[in-house]
Amino acid sequence: MYTTLHLHQFRGFRRLEMSGLSVVNLLVGGNNVGKSSVLEAFEMLAWGGRFRSLQESLLRRGEVEGGELLVNSLFYGYQLRLGMHFEVRGAVGDGTRFVRCEAEQRGDLPILDPIAVTALHLLGTDQPSKWSVPLDVQGRLNLSNYPSSGVVAKVEYIDTAPVSHTRLQKMWLESQLRREDDRVVEVLRLVAPQVERVVVTDATVLLLLQGAQDPVPLGSFGEGTRRLLGLALPMARVAGGLLLVDEIDTGLHYTALKGLWKWLIEAARRLNVQVVATSHSGDCLRALARLHEEDPALAADVSVHRIDPGVEQTMPYTAEELYLAVQGDAEVRGR
């Protein structure tokens, strides 16, 4: 599991240091301070310098135009200039994983513009030799030139959009293979106590309810039920890896949050998954504080990291410190 994270000239960060990472980590702070960018940095490390290290976050954010990736978005200041680079590095176990991307010129092309960027050079833990990624004259990367390699990293990024049915199907199979399907039902009962069983078909997700003869489509339930399913299923797929969740409390009533944290910590321990999530919600923090009050040993595997604008080191809180801050009505979420 990662214990530290270092960002250099990545997206909106000139520099950022995180330490004290735990099994389950919550990133808090105001709007546009870079919480999602930190999740993307962890995702990059999981891909280790392969092409998907560049691709995933750009596609997710819609930083694409005419089938070309707007790679300048990955560099500090959102400008792509000759000699610029970004680096993401994290301490994990006894070693370090890293990704480094440099804006350079291709040696096989005549240089018509001495300051033009014609290639990105990519290095990483799983891409140890420098790999040149050609750009067009506008400094964009044509996605069609890079088919999928078939390599799968142990990482899942869950954003605020509903998880597609195709993705749910794949994750449901993993959950069944690891005999986690009954635990998925337990999670859904946080917002739908009558659920007895989940059935995933080629076309839809069905829920079998207590006392009902016919199953009910997942779409008949609220947003919170779908959100919990989209959080519970990836756990089995990334056993031994990373689960990254943007705005973890999306669609959930505050009364479900303590149960969500309890399940999340227990599942992360059981499956050896490191969780990094973001939230704006004071309810999310108060739910963690209540869990610490009821079960300090369980909450001991949680840390909260506050990101502040222009500050190059996050402010970490243990679950106990969070509890004391909430009890004293101190500000943790950031301005």
Cα dihedral angle (67, 243, 315, 307), rounded to 10 degrees?
20
For the chain, the domains span: 2-20+47-145
Is 281 in a helix, a strand, or coil?
A: coil
CA distance 216 to 219: 8
Kindly give the confidence (pLDDT) of every residue in the chain, 335 residues in length, as a single tens digit, with 9 standing for 90 and above. 999 999 999 999 999 999 999 999 999 998 889 999 999 999 999 999 988 888 999 999 999 998 899 999 999 988 888 889 999 999 998 899 999 999 988 766 555 565 667 889 999 999 888 888 888 878 889 888 776 777 789 999 999 988 888 988 988 988 888 888 888 999 999 999 999 999 999 889 999 999 888 899 998 998 999 999 999 999 988 999 999 999 999 999 999 999 999 999 999 999 999 999 999 888 999 999 999 899 999 988 999 999 999 899 998 888 888 878 777 555 565 54
What is the pLDDT, as a whole number, of residue 110?
A: 56
Closest CA to 255 of 229, 284, 234: 284
For residue 329, list its beta bridge partners.
none
Counting DSSP H helices and E strands in the chain, the numbers are 9, 18
Chain centre to alpha carbon of residue 293: 27
CA distance 166 to 172: 10
CA distances to 120, 151, 171, 288 from 131, rounded to whole Å, are 8, 17, 32, 43
Q: Are the beta carbons of 207 and 221 closer than 8 angstroms?
A: yes
